[in-house]
Structure 1
């Protein structure tokens, strides 16, 4: 989470995560943290370039980038192609329709959900056209591209994973993205995604990538307090989270979320089996991959040193 740590720390954690045996690593792409207490928001693409250079085997994802407002899709295409080259084919472009928190900073307002989905569909089309390495001219409803060409195109094509949360986003992206990203273990969403792709001739080799925040610490009270301080925004749900524009808004929206509320939503403490149980919900819903988010910067290194390897052994078991 780029909202939890500075850029140098994130690169260090990425290297450590590869060393202890994680298969892939994901990065949020924010201009602002959710809560002021998180205290960070470095540029994800710069950081990922450093991670690509400092690691050798882990796959890398943006999780997720909004290629419609803060970034023009042509710029995202260039960033993704360059990162894929630096990562020797280990990168997947995760995209989503964005959050007001990050996108409002460029002063273009905040579109409705339906418009944001349409914008993302068009952006994906533009990005794919540019990935061909051919000259692209495009004038759509939302974006224009004038005689643009990517001069450095990776040998391994960049795949695209789209963040979805319900029927509308499944309908919008199942046929234009390669893989699915979701933050709740919703089997209906996964089934709908596969059904939408059935009979289209698209690849059936689809990854379904989930996200599970955890707050590991040898002391449960410390873990709960950290999760409440750093991650209580998660309790709002994405319908709320997408629309709030500032950290002050998130502080106000979560002022009545208690530590117990947070602990009921996020596995907290030293119990690795509780994390495994939470992951099982994603497996049962049809997910193929799970991104574990250790909450907070404090305790991150200790988690990687003490808990990560035994947790991975339990999960793979």
Structure 2
């Protein structure tokens, strides 16, 4: 049973638009939400970056859907103690429908306080320790913690949900997928690769949820969709580890000059073909994901939700039974 969600882009849209999209997503039949957490957009064309915790507070009053951050980095820009408090409050606001999605982050967002941007192995170790801190605080009571990367003294959260907040860990390679299996209540990725899901499950994830997500660009023609996707999200095709180490939107714009419209067209379903979107959903299902989230690129959100409800959703539901939480 696979659940289909919508991916709210904090890089493209301001807080009021995100709330409006959440309402439309629920009306169109989406069953859950992802919301991105960035300090910067990837490029100036995207043009937004609202504070996600304020947005989540508004979403809690606007929709009844489960919400997950996709993803928060709880290691550098914001101390894990503060993330623990924010996540606990979000879970109370959402009456238990909140998941804290975490990852090791990108320099684009996390270096802004002038801290050294560490290599991947160190970032994963910091993430593991940060999750320990967050879980300790969510259990309640006063917390003192002495780790390699974090110290906590006399900290206690007084606004807590009835149950600890589930923490899902994102992964784009075997090391992070294995870490998700060891410490996560679930797994997140934007890659429909069965090997990542297998690594997560064999490393301790078992039957815990695996969540995936991808972008589309619905438009009246394939050519218009490709143009919009290439203008707004060429960074999706920047290769290797550049996405983790480039420090500013300007650097992403420079790297994205290497990305052609053809490269975007190969990676993103563009245009009015519902079968292309349904096939991409199926690729995540075939890879073993339990929840799949879709993000529409560009301003034409109303047309996308109509397209989804009338043309794509019936095809997806015919092939993939609806899932729950």
TM category (shorter chain) comes to over 0.9
Whether 2:198 is the aligned partner of 1:196: answer no
C-alpha displacement of 1:237 = 4.0
| 8 Å Cα contact 2:73/2:103 also seen in 1 | yes
* Structure 1: distance between partners of 2:213 and 2:236: 12
Cα displacement string for residues 189-219 of structure 1 (whole angstroms, at most 9, x for unaligned residues): 111111111xxxx7x4311111111001122
SS in structure 1 at match of 2:246 = coil
Does residue 7 of structure 1 match 2:15? yes
Once the two structures are TM-superposed, the CA of residue 301 in structure 1 deviates from its matched residue by 2.2
**Inter-partner Cα distance in structure 2 for 1:6 and 1:290:** 23
Contact 1:180 1:207 in 2 (8 A): yes
- The 2-side partners of 1:313 and 1:81 are apart by 36
After superposition, what is the alpha-carbon deviation per residue over 1:31-53, rounded to whole angstroms, capped at 9, x for unaligned?
Answer: 10101100101111110110011
Q: Deviations over 1:257-305 (max 9, x none)?
A: 1112111110000001001111221111111111101112x11122123
Do the aligned partners of 1:213 and 1:293 also contact (CA within 8 Å) in 2? yes
The corresponding residue for 1:166 is 173
CA distance 1:154–1:313, change in 2 (3 Å)? same
Question: What is the alpha-carbon distance in structure 2 between the residues aligned to residue 36 and residue 256 of structure 1?
Answer: 17
Superposition CA RMSD, Å: 1.3
The answer (yes or no) to whether the contact 2:179–2:203 under 8 Å persists in 1 is no
In the TM superposition, what is the alpha-carbon distance from 1:233 to its structure 2 partner? 0.3
Partner deviation per Cα, 1:125-164 (whole Å, 9 max, x = no partner): 0000000111100010001111001101101331011001
Does 2:30 align with 1:22? yes
RCO higher in structure (CA 8 A, sep ≥6): 2
- Residue 188 of structure 1: how far off its partner (Å): 1.1
Contact 1:21 1:309 (8 Å CA) reproduced: no
Question: Does residue 116 of the first structure (1) align with residue 123 of the second (2)?
Answer: yes
Q: Which of residues 293, 296, 311 is equivalent to 2:295? A: 293
Q: 2:138 aligns with which of 116, 131, 142?
A: 131
Q: CA deviation at 1:309?
A: 4.4
1:50 aligns with 2:63: no
Counterparts of 2:310 and 2:78 in 1: how far apart (Å)? 37
Cα–Cα, structure 1 residues 166 and 256, in superposed 2: closer, same or farther, change >3 Å?
A: closer
- The equivalences for 1:1-317 within 5 A come to 1-56=9-64, 58-197=65-204, 204-237=206-239, 239-296=241-298, 298-317=299-318
Aligned residues: 310
SS at match of 2:68: strand
Show CA shifts across 1:95-131 (max 9, x none): 0000100001111121110110000000000000000
Match of 2:236, SS? Answer: helix
Query: Conserved in 2, the CA contact under 8 Å of 1:121 and 1:173?
Result: no
Q: How many angstroms apart in 2 are the aligned matches of 1:274 and 1:244?
A: 32
Cα distance between partner residues in 1 of 2:171 and 2:307:
34
Unaligned runs of at least 5 residues, structure 1: none
Q: How many Å separate the matches in 2 of 1:3 and 1:82?
A: 23
- Structure 2: how far apart are the matches of 1:310 and 1:130? 45
Question: Deviation at 1:238?
Answer: 5.8
Q: Partners of 2:233 and 2:218 in 1: how far apart? A: 13
**Offset, 1:29:** 0.4
CA contact (8 A) 2:180 2:186 kept: no
SS class of match (1:210): strand
